[in-house]
Structure 1
C-alpha cells in the first residue's frame, strides 16, 4: 500500500512539473497542425503566461513585426485553447508583452535604474544642498524682498524634495513590477502594469510643474539681487548661489521622454482593447481551418475501416478511385461523378476560407468514396481480375520457359538418340 502511495505521488509530481517547451509548441504549430495558413508567420518565442491556476503558451502571429493574431496552447498538452474568456485575457497580456518589449528594444525606455538614480541624487540636493545655498543669500543681505523670496523658494524645495523621493520610490516599484511581469507574466497583472506606469507619469508631470514654478522664482530672485544695493562682489556670489542646480536642469529630458512613453503606452492599451475581440474570433476560424484540412488530407481511422482498410485519407482514396486505369470500372459510376464534384467543391471552399462548407463537401465525398469502395468493380471488367489473369498467364509462360531451360540437355540428348536409331534402322 505504501509503495502504491509513493508511486501515485511521484506520478502526480511528474504530471505537475512537466511542461511543453517553446520548441515543442512552435513545432506543433508548424508541423503537426494546420491552424495557420502556409504563408502565415509567427514568432519563434511564444510567451509562457499564467491565467488563473494554469499556464499557457501563447504564439504571436506576426506580419512585418506587427502582431496580427494569437493562439494559445495548454502548457502540458498539445491542445489549442478554445475558451473565449481565457483567450481574451491571454491575448491581451501577450500583446502588451510583445509591444512593450519591442518598444523597449527600439526606443529609449524611461523606466531604468539610471533615471531612478537621478531622482535619488536630486532628492538629496533639493533637501540639503540648495536650501543651504539659499540660506547663505538670506543671511548675507538685509533686503526684505530677497529674504521673502528665499523663504518662499525654500518652502518650495521642501515640496519638491518630497515629490522627488516619491518619484524614486515609484520608479523602483514599477521597475520591479515590470521585470516580474516580463519574466513571469500573469494575466491579472496586465492592467496593473499600466497603473504602475501612469503613477510615474503623473508624478513626473507634478514635478515638472513644481520645477517650472521654482525656475520662475529663481529668475525673480536673481532679478532682485541684480537690482539690489548689494556690493558687486556679494552680488556675483549670490547670483551663483541662486541658480538652480544642474541636476534639476538635466531632468528636462526625462519629462520629454515621459510624454513619449506615456503616449506609446496609451496606444498599446487602446490597440489591445479594440482588437482583442477580433483576435479571439479568429481562433474559431483557425479551428475550422484545421478541421477542414483534417477532413480532406489527414488520417481518419473510421474512414480507413469503412474503405476495407485501404485508405486512411479522403485525398488518397480520391486519387486511387479517379485514376484513369480504375475510374471506368467502378460499379457506382453515379457516385463516382458525385465524388469528383464533392471533392472539388471541398478543396475550392478550403481555398476560399469557407471552411464549414469545405467540411460539409468533404464529408459528402467520404460517403461517396465509401460507397464506391464497398460496391467494388464491375465483375466483367474488374481490373483486379484482369490484372490477376495477366499475372497468372505471365507466370505460366515464365514457368514453361524455366522448365525448358532446366531440361535442355536431356531434351537434346533424347533427340540425338532418336536420330541415330532412325539411321540404323
Structure 2
C-alpha cells in the first residue's frame, strides 16, 4: 500500500514545481529525508512471554524548525509509510506557516490485541529506543491513528524520566493535567469546519441547502459531523470501519454519537423509545458512501480511499480531506474532469498540528490559554491560509491541492535560500 503513498506524495510535489521559482538546491534537498530511525521494542507481555515490535521515526526536513508529527500504532506501519507521512507533514507545516519541519513515527502492531498494561510498556519502550532522536527543539511527537492522550502522557513521562527533567514540550496531544492544550482533542475537526465555512460561500452555498456524507466516524469525523449539524448542514450519511448509515432527510448526529459511544458501532444507530429520534435509515457500505449524490464528501478515515478504480463513481461536488491522503493522485485527475473541487489534507486537516503548535508554545512559556483563545487563534490561521491558497489557485488556474503545495514550497524555498543556495555562492547575489 505505502509504495504508492510516497509515489503519490512525490507526484504532487512534482506537479507543484511547475508553478514555483525554486533553486535546484531546494529541490535536491527535499528529495530525501533528513534522518530515519528503525528500532526494535522488546515488550514483556502479560502472560510472561516476550514480543519484539518494530518502531520507526523519520525526520524529513527541519529547515523551518524542529520536526513535528504523529505516532501511529497500526499493523500496516512501515518505514515507507512513515517516510511518506513525514514528507506530507513538511508541506503541511509550511502551508500553515508553523515554525516546524515534517516528521512522523509509528509502531507496527494491532493495538486492539494488547492490554492497557502492554500498551503502556510498548509506549514507554518506544520512547526508550528513540529518546536521543527526539526533543522539544529537535522533533516533537503527537497522537495519530490509534494513539491518544493517555499514550502521549506515557510517552512524555518516559522521556522526562530518561532526561531527569519534566519536558512537556516533547509531546503534544497530552492530557490537560500534564500540560495539554484545551481544544487539542477536537482541533482537526474544528479546523476543517473553519475551512468549510470559509470556502462554501465562494460557491454561493448556504448550510441549509448543503448535504454532507462523512466516511470515518472516529475522533475527527464524529466531531466534524456534530459541528456541521449544529451549523445547519444536512448530514445524510456517516460510516465507520464496520459500515455506515444513510438517511436522505438527514441524521440526528448527537444520537448517532451517543449510540456509537455506547456500542462502538454506527450500525442500527437509532435506539429505542424516546432517547433518540427514530429516523428511517439504510445500512450502507463504505464504498456506497463514497458514491452518494451529496454536495460535500468528507473522507475522514484512512489513506487511499478514493482511487483510480472508484473515483468515477464519486458524485460529490466538493471533497474536504480530513484524513491524510484519502484521494490518490490518479483519482485527483478523474475528479477534476468531473468538476469536483478537492480541498487537500495539508490544509483541511491542519487544525491538529496547528493546535499542537499552540500546545508547544504554551508548554514553553508556561502560560496556558482558554478554549476561546485557542479556537480564535485556530480560526484566524486556518481561514487566513485557506484564503491565501484559494488566491493562488485562482491566479494560477490550478487545483486547490497544487495551490497548497505551491504555497508550502515557496515558504520552504525561502527558508532554504536564507541559508544560501548555489545562486548565492556562484553569482554572488545578496
TM range (shorter): under 0.3
Q: TM-score, normalised by structure 1?
A: 0.18
Of the two structures, which has the highest relative contact order with CA contacts closer than 8 Å and spacing of 6 or more?
Answer: 2
Larger radius of gyration: 1
